[in-house]
Amino acid sequence: MNDLAFERPGPMPFRFLIDEAIRQTRRHFRAIFPSIGIPIAIIAAAVAAVQALAVSRMTTNLGTLPSWWSPELLLLTLIYIALLIVAYTAMQVAAVDAAAGRPVDMKRAWRFAVQGRVLGTLFLSSMAGLASLACCCFPALYVVPLLSFTSPAMVDEGRFGVQALSRSAELTRHNPGRELFEHPIVKVFLLIFLGGLLSYLAGLVVSLPFVVPMYIDMFRRAAAGQDMAQGMSTWLWLQVPSQILNALASSAVTLYVCFGVALLFFDTRARKEGTDLQSEIEEVFPPAPPPGDLPL
């Protein structure tokens, strides 16, 4: 065997990946989470408050029933969606920097996330995801993980637009071992699924103390023959703190997923570039033939 040849590094096991993501999240939580979670929680509370106000108007002024989707609520919802996109991109920037051993700078992360070329790349990625959702949803199970390395490619390699999307597809499809559960796409899918499950459970836990009393009161009113809508506005105001806690919990879970994606990005790139380097070395310095094949 050629002395210049080396053994290909094995892929990071998924169990080790999620454990390392937890460790990195705990290590950098204070540096990253406050500047992301607090703004998201504030806007989420504002959306819940405007919705509660709209319902309160509906129950007190039955002559003119305003729409649930008032202009204020629609505007706040659009702002909330835009903030989520930018904030979670900034969170991914910070996670990539931390995973690469660079200092975490949230001001830099926010500045990077609001760049025009970054937003344009995210728009292309989002359109690809929406197009896959329109095709009976099943293609999205492949397309979304396929493009999950787009943000790390922008942060660590300076690729934007179609180049970032292509780089993500190139890395997530790298599976020379042809093993299903070692495939980067499968690992990303499992990370997203795990993050969604944790976010749902966390939201359920923080919402129960506010939702259960509301439904008990509604059932009591229904049993007594009272109008259930009269007390709904009061209970909806209690959903404001519920939305704050839910937004904070979801942001914490998203930070964990961002670290998982960042770690998987570096692991996959290192394995792919190591394999490419080995191939180039073997082209320049081919392995020596077996002793039996040596010319006499």
Q: Is residue 287 part of a domain?
A: no
pLDDT-based confidence at residue 106 (cuts at 50, 70, 90):
very high
pTM, two decimal places:
0.82
Q: DSSP letter string over 151-163? A: HHHHHHH---THH
Range of 36-45, 210-219, 276-285 with top mean pLDDT: 36-45
Residue (of 77, 66, 71) closest to 233 by Cα position: 66
Q: What is the pLDDT of residue 236?
A: 72
The number of domains in the chain is 1
pLDDT attached to residue 57: 67
Tokens of 127: 């359109």
Mean pLDDT of 30-52: 89
Q: Is the pLDDT of residue 86 over 90?
A: yes
Polymer length of the chain:
296
Radius of gyration of the chain (CA): 25
DSSP assignment letter at 287? P
Q: Are 186 and 12 in contact (CB under 8 A)?
A: no
Percentage of the chain exceeding pLDDT 70? 80
Residues 240, 55 contacting (CB under 8 angstroms): no
- Indicate whether 9 belongs to any domain: no
Q: Is residue 256 assigned to a domain? A: yes
The residue with greater pLDDT, 103 or 229, is: 103
280 pLDDT band, cuts 50/70/90, is very low
Residue 33 belongs to a domain: yes
User: What is the structure's pLDDT at 134?
Assistant: 79
Predicted confidence band of residue 285 (pLDDT cuts 50, 70, 90): very low
Residue 273 lies in a domain: yes
Average pLDDT of the chain, as a whole number: 82
The answer to whether the beta carbons of residues 31 and 94 sit under 8 Å apart is yes
Comparing 273 with 94, which gets the higher pLDDT? 94
Check pLDDT > 90 for residue 217: no
Per-residue confidence at 226, pLDDT binned at 50, 70, 90?
low
Q: What's residue 4's pLDDT?
A: 36
Residue 153 lies in a domain: yes
What would the pLDDT profile of 160-188 be if each residue is shown by its tens digit? 999 999 999 999 998 888 888 888 999 99
Q: Which domain holds residue 43?
A: 14-279
Query: How do the residues of the chain divide into helix, strand and coil, expressed in percent and rounded to 5?
Result: 80, 0, 20
Q: How far does the chain reach from its first CA to its final CA, in angstroms?
A: 20
- 106 or 68, which is more confident: 106
Cα 35 from Cα 258, distance rounded (Å): 15
pLDDT at 216: 78
CA 275 to chain centre: 29
1 belongs to a structural domain: no
Residue 135 has pLDDT above 70, yes or no: yes
Q: What is the pLDDT of residues 45-61, one digit of tens each?
A: 888 888 777 766 665 55
Q: Residue 77 is which amino acid?
A: T
* 288: pLDDT strictly greater than 60: no
Q: Label residue 1 by pLDDT band (50, 70, 90).
A: very low
| Residue 116 within any structural domain of the chain | yes
